[in-house]
């Protein structure tokens, strides 16, 4: 590894002028990329990892300024004129983005968009470019490329759009490809395919890849070297294997340890069934409006049966659109559904809103998005005590306040903050508030709908720990809905794998993780759990 | 697409029908009539007139007769301008209004889009501030203020242009300026906002990341997205401009159709009022359709259905 | 948005940390917006002028001064010095008496008059009838009241000094007082019509949005159909046919402007209904009424407030347009639109009749628009 670096970044600063003053997003980082190597930049949201690459591509927002030096094969990029920069971007250095849904222009056919760098950098004719585009689409595994070349972006799935982006990135045989969280917005199985594709293409074409991600699992399997960023600084760098085995900086250690660990023991066999659904079915659409004609029916949950025992955590796993959230809401009778739902032996399938109200105290729900689940116009105190007002209306205000203090302390928040409003809290804190809102009622069953998915890894771990502590302290039963298998493994003692509204496979957590029987479960596991490097899948080194 | 246009026209018929019905009965239920003059007419003449115009029949019969005539393209005789049929009045007035409105609209579109895009590309520079400031003026000041002020300043005080009247091209300058100015302002503001949004969008970032020259980034990727809200705005606006403006035609003394409605309503000229309603509704329907077709052509995500 | 999370501030236990609500945040942002603050002040002053002005201003808005038709705007008092003597002469001329030399001293005019017969004391009316003079009297040489039956005396009158800061209109009414009453009428109609639209729109939109499903579908179809009607024409028809009175005008305007409001409120309601905090409230067992009261209304309020501030200028504009077309309020009451129309008709030779009302209306519209923009920026800090 004594080759000359193709990219040398020295003392790079990025600043943004905002209404709240200057924000120093990147604070003097050094970075090297050698030909053909894969470098990962890892960090949590706000660490400045994306802004670093935006700065050297000249893509900073208009209020952003870059200082310092970044040279590509000796050519200084910072402060380079747009015209000169345009000879490098799209030709020598290309980029793919996090948002496959919006990164392509919705108004033009994909063929034309992929051809644009060819036409403008290589002076190719549109006709010649089209041939090359079809070749590229074939290369990135788009089926029927000769026809798809004339498709519009909205006619493709998210994974396919990311493939199109990759095709565009490869069009001019670049020296270096910057991939900014290219799989974050995709389902796990699609993620795996895209990563495998990138690994394979790199092997074939030999470009360097700069991989920006928050996902350590990807880094471990994908990168040669790693830079760990926090608060705009590189806190540690090194060879992937070295860094993972012997992290030096405490933050790196924290990140590595942030993967939730531990296993949950199943409840005793004699534990009673608390919440049970039998042949639960939820159908959306159908019927249609008076004017709109019949709509297609969507069977979001298709005759599913689950039984949640006291003290148990059932992990419901599946990709987006698999119906797992719908199942959770149907079991809480928040959605109209067919089939029977029993709570503590009583059939509540036919209970209306009024009849359900006393039971709501026992059956609680925590949402994924801690930003959307708290009313922005209520103080934390009001949010947390709203349920008390419904279920214990006779409670005097002083007592309500005492209960709020108690529960806020229990979820690890300073009760002195209860006059504040949600927008004044961070994501992790808000999720604690949402948990407090459920816990104040002392429920028996809590449905946790992706409670950690919107959070950074290190915060995720804290929330997982909190949920486990609460479960132990109050003998709670959880229905834990998540697409994140690492978290599910740490939380649940029983797993239900869902796909398109049906249960594909279910069983004790270890059995599912260690010996998945169904192909879909295997694909999910392979995509998410360490040990199956993409390079192997792609037939690459190791 | 042809089927789509046909379907849309078929869908417009009930709307038109509702409009005609409401307008017809509203006018008729109002007090007063076209022959209520200061000096009452001789009862015999009155009777003859009423018979001639079917006023002696029950209202629902008159309504059916009107619908029947309408279906044949006959809007009836004007009551206040006895020598003309309503169709005649539109035949002479409509070209004038369309000419003024069409020129004003074209100018507004070209100038507005240009200024808006310019301001967006030079965001937070003096160019931007100038455009935004002028646009705010143009949007805020109503036509019935601009029109007399223009007429006063350029016509009466400076004497550069005729303060009113119709005939030569000089007569058209002030009315067109009055009509175009607020539209320039609105279109510039729309374009500016949409362009800024488009420039911030991910797909424009992609275009820049791929080193495409800025005329491609802006001209091909940003502006096409930015023009979409302008196109939507254009439908009702075009209909309104081409059917004349009461204010502008009154102040500059222009023989267009903009004044017909108010004059007709005041004079209880039932057929003229109905005619205006029908003509304007048709314009609105046609231009909404044109805009929808145009929009679908510009944005492949929109389908004809 | 402030990014102050509490991680840094989690220091010692303080009794209670006061939070800043979104409303307070918005208020602070609004106060920092200089254009919005200036607009609010201008509006306040104009409103004050419209409300109090007509009471304290010297000229009633419907008082006609026949001698001062189209008097140009001027800070100096009328009559002008050189106009007094001729006016006195012409007024006195009608008395058909012999007039001596007219002298003007300070604010009194004095002229010897004589006749073949005894002077009729009633001739003072000729002078009093003029807007320029008051307190006309016949005196003898010493300043005492003329003795009855004299054939010569002095006609003495006080010059009545009047100020027409904005001039007078074609009927000889003070333009300033007309503008003041116009402000009052325009603002009143703007506010009342907006309230009307608010009431209709919020009720309709909230019902449609909250009930959803078929009811929503049907209610919104009705709005769509109403939208496609050329509604301004129906306002005109309404006003033409049912008389031009104040109440009808604002009802008519309110009835046309509520459609947008209904759409906005419905959209807001639908969005908020889908928010997780509403689902969370449902999961807590909060009743429908509680959800509407505690969650939907407070969160829908922001856009509604913004829309209302933009609705007021629209309503004023519509009223002015109606007045301009001669369909608004009736003389001698007036509104800014009517004044502009009169100004336009008289602009040759009396430009001030157009300029002052136009400037006033423009100022109101500008202030309202800036305030509305400021409110929108303050309440919806997405663009920051």
> In the A/C pair of chains, how many CB contacts fall below 8 A?
125
What is the rounded (10 degree) CA torsion for B55, B61, B63, B69? -90
Peptide bond before residue C79 is cis, with ω within 30 degrees of 0 = yes
Task: Choose the closest CB to B261 out of C236, C347, C366.
Answer: C236
Which of A248, A261, A241, A220 has its CA nearest to residue A42?
A220
Residue B140 is predicted with a pLDDT of 84
Task: Choose the closest CB to A107 out of B123, B200, B225.
Answer: B225
The distance of C237 to chain B (nearest Cα, Å) reads 6
Helix-, strand-, coil-residue percentages of chain A, each rounded to 5: 40, 25, 35
Check residue A274 and report its DSSP letter: E
Q: Which residues of B touch A82 (CB under 8 A)?
A: 214
Q: Over the stretch A518-530, which tens digit does the pLDDT of each residue have?
A: 888 888 877 665 5
Task: Choose the closest CB to C214 out of A289, A360, A426.
Answer: A289
Q: How confident is the model at residue C3 (pLDDT cuts 50, 70, 90)?
A: very low
Distance CA A29, CA C55 (A): 72
Q: Which has more confidence, C266 or C347? A: C266
The distance from CA B88 to its chain's CA centroid, rounded to whole angstroms, is 20
Q: How confident is the model at residue C11 (pLDDT cuts 50, 70, 90)?
A: very low
Q: Which residues of B touch A97 (CB under 8 A)?
A: 202, 205-206
Tokens of A321: 């659109």
Q: Token match 């129906």: residue?
A: C234
List C residues 353-372 in contact with B (Cβ-Cβ < 8 A): 354-355, 358, 361-362, 365-366, 369
Residue B304 is predicted with a pLDDT of 63
What's the average model confidence in pLDDT over C105-131? 77
Residue B23 is predicted with a pLDDT of 81
Distance CA C335, CA C181 (A): 7
- Testing the interface with B: which of A96, A116, A170 to mutate, by most B Cβ within 10 A? A116
What is the number of helices (H) and of strands (E) in chain B? Answer: 13, 0
Q: Which residues of A touch C285 (CB under 8 A)?
A: 356-358, 360-361, 387, 390-391
Residue A115 is predicted with a pLDDT of 92
Judged by DSSP in three states, A207 sits in: coil
Decide if A62 touches B, using CB distance below 8 A.
Answer: yes
For chain B, first and last CA: distance in Å? 9
| Total-model pTM | 0.79
Q: Comparing A476-490, B169-183, B231-245, C109-123, which segment has the lowest mean pLDDT?
A: C109-123
- At residue A99, does pLDDT exceed 60? yes
The C-alpha angle with vertex A75 and arms to A72 and A78, in degrees rounded to 5, equals 85
What's the average model confidence in pLDDT over A276-300? 68
- At residue C14, does pLDDT exceed 60? no
Q: Token match 């903050």: residue?
A: A417
Residue A291 is predicted with a pLDDT of 45
Q: How confident is the model at residue C241 (pLDDT cuts 50, 70, 90)?
A: low
What's the average model confidence in pLDDT over A367-381? 84
Judged by DSSP in three states, B166 sits in: coil
Distance CA C21, CA A376 (A): 8
Q: What is the CA radius of gyration of chain A?
A: 26
- At residue A536, does pLDDT exceed 70? no
Record: contact B216-A116, CB cut-off 8 A: yes
Distance CA A302, CA A287 (A): 18
Q: Which residues of B touch A117 (CB under 8 A)?
A: 210-212
The distance of A183 to chain B (nearest Cα, Å) reads 16
The distance of B57 to chain A (nearest Cα, Å) reads 38
Residue C4 is predicted with a pLDDT of 39
Decide if A180 touches B, using CB distance below 8 A.
Answer: no
Q: Token match 């809007």: residue?
A: B75
Residues contacting residue A338 through CB under 8 Å, at least 6 positions apart: A279, A280, A281, A282, A283
- Name the burial class of residue A287, with classes exposed (0-12), middle (13-18) and buried (19+) by CB atoms within 10 angstroms of its CB: exposed
Residue C136 is predicted with a pLDDT of 75
Residue A514 is predicted with a pLDDT of 86
Record: contact A94-B209, CB cut-off 8 A: yes
What count of residues does chain B have?
305
- At residue A535, does pLDDT exceed 60? no
Peptide bond before residue C332 is cis, with ω within 30 degrees of 0 = yes
Decide if A176 touches B, using CB distance below 8 A.
Answer: no
Decide if A292 touches B, using CB distance below 8 A.
Answer: no
Task: Choose the closest CB to B298 out of A102, A107, A116.
Answer: A107
- Testing the interface with B: which of C182, C315, C320, C324 to mutate, by most B Cβ within 10 A? C324
Distance CA A196, CA A160 (A): 14
What's the average model confidence in pLDDT over C36-41? 88
What's the average model confidence in pLDDT over C16-40? 76
Q: What are phi and psi of C176, to 5 degrees?
A: -60, -45
Q: What is the DSSP string of C56-119?
A: HSSS-TT---GGGTTPPP-SSEESPHHHHHHHHHHHHHTT--EE---EEETTEEEEEEE-SSPP
Record: contact A391-C298, CB cut-off 8 A: no
Residue C9 is predicted with a pLDDT of 37
- Is there a contact between A164 and A130 (Cβ–Cβ < 8 Å)? no
Q: Over the stretch B95-114, which tens digit does the pLDDT of each residue have?
A: 999 999 999 999 999 999 99
Residue C229 is predicted with a pLDDT of 63
Q: Which has more confidence, A276 or B76? A: A276
Decide if C240 touches B, using CB distance below 8 A.
Answer: yes
Kindly indicate whether the ipTM for this predicted assembly is greater than 0.85, answering yes or no: no
Q: Over the stretch B164-181, which tens digit does the pLDDT of each residue have?
A: 778 788 888 899 999 999
CB count within 10 Å of CB B131 equals: 25
Residue A481 is predicted with a pLDDT of 92
Distance CA B167, CA B152 (A): 19
Judged by DSSP in three states, B254 sits in: coil
What's the average model confidence in pLDDT over A91-105? 88
- Testing the interface with B: which of C224, C234, C241, C259 to mutate, by most B Cβ within 10 A? C241
Average pLDDT, whole number, for chain B?
85
Q: Over the stretch C141-185, which tens digit does the pLDDT of each residue have?
A: 777 777 777 777 777 777 777 777 777 777 778 888 888 888 988
Record: contact B149-C348, CB cut-off 8 A: no
Distance CA B71, CA C83 (A): 68
Long-range interactions of C13-17: CB distance < 8 A, separation 24+? C13/A414, C13/A416, C14/A416, C15/A416, C16/A416, C16/A418, C16/A419, C17/A416, C17/A417, C17/A419, C17/A420
- At residue A480, does pLDDT exceed 90? yes
- At residue A219, does pLDDT exceed 90? no
Which of A271, A141, A273, A261 has its CA nearest to residue A201?
A141
Check residue A259 and report its DSSP letter: S
Decide if A16 touches B, using CB distance below 8 A.
Answer: no
Q: Which residues of C touch A358 (CB under 8 A)?
A: 285
Rounded alpha-carbon distances, angstroms, from residue B13 to B9, B10, B18, B243: 7, 6, 9, 20
Record: contact A291-C221, CB cut-off 8 A: yes
CB crowding B197-221: b at 16 or more within 10 Å, else e? bbbebbbbbbbbbbbbeeebbbebb
Record: contact B203-A102, CB cut-off 8 A: yes
Record: contact C283-A360, CB cut-off 8 A: yes
Rounded alpha-carbon distances, angstroms, from residue B132 to A268, A329, A367, B119: 71, 49, 43, 8
Task: Choose the closest CB to B210 out of A82, A117, A154.
Answer: A117
Q: Which has more confidence, B47 or A406? A: A406
Residue C380 is predicted with a pLDDT of 64
- At residue C235, does pLDDT exceed 80? no
Q: How confident is the model at residue C5 (pLDDT cuts 50, 70, 90)?
A: very low
What's the average model confidence in pLDDT over B256-284? 84
Record: contact B211-A104, CB cut-off 8 A: no
Q: Which residues of B touch C324 (CB under 8 A)?
A: 144, 247
Check residue A365 and report its DSSP letter: E
Distance CA C105, CA A377 (A): 73
- Whether the CA torsion A525, A531, A537, A538 is positive or negative: it is positive
Record: contact B225-A105, CB cut-off 8 A: yes
Judged by DSSP in three states, B171 sits in: helix
Q: Which has more confidence, A537 or B200? A: B200
Residue B105 is predicted with a pLDDT of 94
Percent of chain C with pLDDT strictly greater than 90 = 0
Reduce the secondary structure of C80-96 to three states and give it as a string: CHHHHHHHHHHHHHCCC
Average pLDDT, whole number, for chain C?
78
- At residue A134, does pLDDT exceed 90? yes
CB crowding C140-164: b at 16 or more within 10 Å, else e? eeeeeebeeeeebbbbbbbbbebeb
Q: Which residues of C touch B281 (CB under 8 A)?
A: 228-230
Residue A528 is predicted with a pLDDT of 65
The distance of C207 to chain A (nearest Cα, Å) reads 17
Q: How confident is the model at residue C19 (pLDDT cuts 50, 70, 90)?
A: low
Q: How confident is the model at residue B50 (pLDDT cuts 50, 70, 90)?
A: confident
Partner residues linked to A29 by β-bridges: A12
Residue B301 is predicted with a pLDDT of 81
Tokens of A455: 């959070």
- At residue A40, does pLDDT exceed 90? yes
- At residue A227, does pLDDT exceed 90? yes
Record: contact A59-B209, CB cut-off 8 A: yes
Q: Which residues of A touch B211 (CB under 8 A)?
A: 85-91, 117, 120-121
Residue A540 is predicted with a pLDDT of 33
Neighbouring chains to C with at least 3 Cβ pairs closer than 8 Å: A, B
- Testing the interface with C: which of A21, A22, A414 to mutate, by most C Cβ within 10 A? A414
Q: Which residues of A touch C275 (CB under 8 A)?
A: 372-373, 375
Residue C232 is predicted with a pLDDT of 65
Residue A158 is predicted with a pLDDT of 84
- Name the burial class of residue B293, with classes exposed (0-12), middle (13-18) and buried (19+) by CB atoms within 10 angstroms of its CB: middle
């Amino acid at each position: 590894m004594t080759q000359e670096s193709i990219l040398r970044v020295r003392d790079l600063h990025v600043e943004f002028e905002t209404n709240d003053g200057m924000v120093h997003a990147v604070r003097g980082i050094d970075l090297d990329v050698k030909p053909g190597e894969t470098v990962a930049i890892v960090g949590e949201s706000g660490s400045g990892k994306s802004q670093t690459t935006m700065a050297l591509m000249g893509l900073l927002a208009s209020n952003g300024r870059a200082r310092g030096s970044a040279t590509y094969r000796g050519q200084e990029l910072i402060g380079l004129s747009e015209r000169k920069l345009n000879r490098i971007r799209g030709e020598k250095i290309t980029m793919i983005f996090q948002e496959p849904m919006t990164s392509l222009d919705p108004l033009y056919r994909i063929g034309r968009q992929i051809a644009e760098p060819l036409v403008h950098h290589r002076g190719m004719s549109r006709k010649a470019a089209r041939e090359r585009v079809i070749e590229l689409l074939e290369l990135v595994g788009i089926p029927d490329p000769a026809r798809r070349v004339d498709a519009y972006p909205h006619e493709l799935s998210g994974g396919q759009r990311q493939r199109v982006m990759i095709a565009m990135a490869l069009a001019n045989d670049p020296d270096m490809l910057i991939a900014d969280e290219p799989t974050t917005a995709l389902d796990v199985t699609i993620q795996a395919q895209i990563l495998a594709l990138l690994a394979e293409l790199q092997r074939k074409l030999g470009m360097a890849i700069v991989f920006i991600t928050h996902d350590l699992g990807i880094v471990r399997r994908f990168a040669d070297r790693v830079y760990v960023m926090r608060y705009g600084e590189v806190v540690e760098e090194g060879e992937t294997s070295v860094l993972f085995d012997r992290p030096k900086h405490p933050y790196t250690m924290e990140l590595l340890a942030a993967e939730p660990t531990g296993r949950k023991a199943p409840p005793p066999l004699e534990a009673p069934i608390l919440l049970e659904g039998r042949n639960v079915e939820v159908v959306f659409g159908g019927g249609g409006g008076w004017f709109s004609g019949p709509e297609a029916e969507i069977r979001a949950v298709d005759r599913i049966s689950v039984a949640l025992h006291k003290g148990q955590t059932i992990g419901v796993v599946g990709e987006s659109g698999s119906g797992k959230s719908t199942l959770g809401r149907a079991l809480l009778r928040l959605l109209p559904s067919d089939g029977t739902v029993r709570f503590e032996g009583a059939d509540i399938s036919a209970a209306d809103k009024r009849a359900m109200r006393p039971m709501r105290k026992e059956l609680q729900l925590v949402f994924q998005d801690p930003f959307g689940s708290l009313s922005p116009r209520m103080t934390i105190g009001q949010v947390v005590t709203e349920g008390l007002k419904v279920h214990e209306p006779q409670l005097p205000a002083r007592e309500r306040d005492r209960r709020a203090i108690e529960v806020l302390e229990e979820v690890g928040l300073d009760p002195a903050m209860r006059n504040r409003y949600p927008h004044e809290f961070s994501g992790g804190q808000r999720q604690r508030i949402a948990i407090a809102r459920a816990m104040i009622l002392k429920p028996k069953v809590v449905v946790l709908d992706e409670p950690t998915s919107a959070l950074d890894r290190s915060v995720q771990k804290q929330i997982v720990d909190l949920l486990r502590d609460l479960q132990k302290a109050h003998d709670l039963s959880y229905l834990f809905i998540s697409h994140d298998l690492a978290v599910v493994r740490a939380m649940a003692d029983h797993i239900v794998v869902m796909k398109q509204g049906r249960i594909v496979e279910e069983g004790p957590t270890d059995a599912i993780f260690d010996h998945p029987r169904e192909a879909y479960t295997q694909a999910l596991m392979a995509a998410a759990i360490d040990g199956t490097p993409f390079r192997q899948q792609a037939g690459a080194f190791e | 697409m042809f089927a789509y246009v046909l379907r849309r026209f078929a869908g417009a018929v009930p709307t038109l029908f509702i409009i005609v019905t409401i307008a017809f009965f509203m006018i008729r239920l109002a007090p007063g009539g076209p022959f209520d003059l200061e000096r009452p007419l001789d009862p015999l003449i009155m009777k003859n007139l009423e018979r001639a115009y079917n006023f002696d029949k029950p209202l629902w019969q008159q309504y059916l007769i009107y619908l029947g005539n309408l279906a044949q393209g006959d809007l009836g005789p004007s009551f206040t301008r006895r020598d003309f049929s309503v169709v005649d009045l539109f035949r002479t007035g409509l070209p004038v209004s369309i000419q003024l409105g069409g020129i004003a609209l074209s100018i507004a579109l070209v100038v507005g889009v240009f200024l808006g895009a310019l301001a967006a590309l030079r965001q937070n520079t003096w160019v931007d501030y100038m455009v935004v400031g002028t646009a705010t003026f143009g949007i805020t000041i109503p036509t019935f203020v601009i029109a007399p002020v223009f007429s006063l300043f350029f016509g009466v005080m400076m004497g550069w242009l005729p303060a009113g009247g119709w005939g030569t091209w000089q007569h058209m300058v002030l009315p067109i300026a009055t009509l175009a100015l607020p539209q320039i302002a609105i279109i510039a503001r729309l374009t500016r906002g949409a362009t800024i949004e488009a420039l911030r969008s991910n797909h424009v970032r992609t275009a820049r990341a791929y080193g495409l020259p800025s005329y491609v980034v802006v001209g091909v990727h940003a502006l096409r997205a930015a023009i979409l809200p302008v196109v939507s705005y254009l439908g009702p606006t075009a209909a309104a401009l081409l059917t004349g403006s009461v204010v502008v035609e009154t102040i500059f003394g222009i023989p267009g159709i903009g004044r017909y409605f108010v004059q007709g309503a005041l004079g209880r000229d039932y057929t003229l009022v109905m005619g205006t309603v029908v003509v304007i509704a048709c314009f609105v329907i046609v231009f909404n359709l044109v805009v929808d077709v145009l929009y679908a052509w510009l944005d492949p995500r929109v389908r004809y259905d | 948005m402030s990014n102050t999370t509490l991680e840094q501030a989690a220091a010692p236990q303080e009794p209670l940390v006061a939070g800043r609500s979104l409303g307070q945040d918005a208020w602070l942002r609004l106060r920092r917006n200089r254009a919005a603050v200036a607009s609010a002040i201008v509006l306040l002053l104009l409103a004050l002028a419209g409300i109090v002005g007509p009471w304290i201003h010297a000229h009633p808005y419907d008082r006609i001064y026949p001698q001062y038709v189209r008097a140009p705007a001027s800070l100096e008092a009328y009559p002008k010095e050189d106009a007094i003597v001729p006016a006195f002469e012409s007024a006195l001329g009608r008395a058909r008496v012999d007039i001596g030399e007219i002298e003007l001293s300070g604010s009194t005019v004095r002229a010897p008059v004589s006749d073949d017969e005894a002077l009729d004391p009633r001739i003072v009316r000729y002078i009093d009838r003029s807007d320029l003079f008051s307190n006309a009297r016949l005196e003898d040489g010493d300043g005492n009241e003329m003795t009855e039956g004299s054939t010569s005396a002095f006609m003495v009158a006080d010059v009545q000094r009047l100020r027409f800061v904005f001039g007078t209109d074609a009927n000889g009414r003070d333009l300033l007082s007309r503008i003041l009453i116009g402000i009052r009428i325009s603002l009143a109609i703007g506010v009342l019509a907006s309230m009307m639209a608010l009431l209709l729109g919020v009720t309709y939109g909230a019902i449609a949005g909250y009930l959803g499903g078929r009811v929503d579908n049907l209610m919104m179809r009705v709005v769509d159909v109403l939208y496609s009607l050329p509604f301004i024409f129906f306002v005109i028809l309404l006003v033409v046919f049912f008389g031009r009175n104040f109440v009808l005008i604002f009802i008519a305007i309110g009835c046309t402007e509520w459609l947008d409001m209904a759409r906005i409120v419905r959209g807001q309601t639908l969005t908020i209904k889908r928010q997780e905090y509403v689902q969370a409230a449902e999961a807590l067992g909060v009743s429908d009424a509680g959800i509407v009261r505690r969650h939907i209304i407070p969160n829908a309020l922001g856009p509604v407030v913004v829309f209302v501030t933009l609705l007021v200028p629209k309503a004023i504009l519509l009223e002015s347009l109606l007045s301009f077309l001669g369909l608004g309020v009736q003389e001698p009451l007036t509104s800014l639109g009517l004044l502009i129309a009169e100004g336009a008709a008289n602009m040759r030779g009396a430009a001030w009749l157009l300029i002052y009302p136009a400037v006033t209306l423009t100022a109101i519209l500008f202030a309202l628009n800036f305030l509305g923009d400021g409110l929108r920026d303050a309440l919806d800090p997405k663009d920051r």
